Amino acid sequence: MQIEHRIAVEAPPETIFRIYEDVKNWHTWDPDTKQATLDGPFQVGTRSRLVPTKGNSVPMVLTQAVPGRIFTVESKIPLFRMVFEHELEPGQRSTEVIHRVTITGLLALVLGPILSKQLNAGLPVTLSRLKTLAESRGAA
């Protein structure tokens, strides 16, 4: 199961990526995040932890990090896996920001529909808040 939302942001990819790298402040633009921490540099293999506003702390690992372009984190528990992709596509006057969540595993059959509903409600708000923050920091 995959959920994807996009938004055009009038800021360069580098500005947006710097916001992504500031993990401890994700809660300022992602209303579904209460707290996030990163146990090292923003690079592949670094572990992190996210505490959602509703639910328990979730362990994650950074599985892809290309500055100004894309980063991906993965969270696994037995029989369930979530992959969060954050992709930046530069355009002439704006950057297209794509947030994509892929849910797999046996528990996806049970949790997928619930999480899909939450993600489809939350991602547009998250992207809108990210847009506002990025555009306040510098136009493309």
Q: What is the pLDDT of residues 34-88, one digit of tens each?
A: 999 999 999 999 999 999 988 889 999 999 999 999 999 999 988 899 999 999 9
Residue 62 has which token pair? 């950074």
Give residue 78's pLDDT.
Answer: 83
Give, in words, the CATH class of 2-137. alpha beta
pTM of the prediction?
A: 0.92
**pLDDT of 139 above 60:** no
Q: What is the pLDDT of residues 81-116, one digit of tens each?
A: 999 999 999 999 999 999 999 999 988 888 888 889
Give residue 130's pLDDT.
Answer: 98
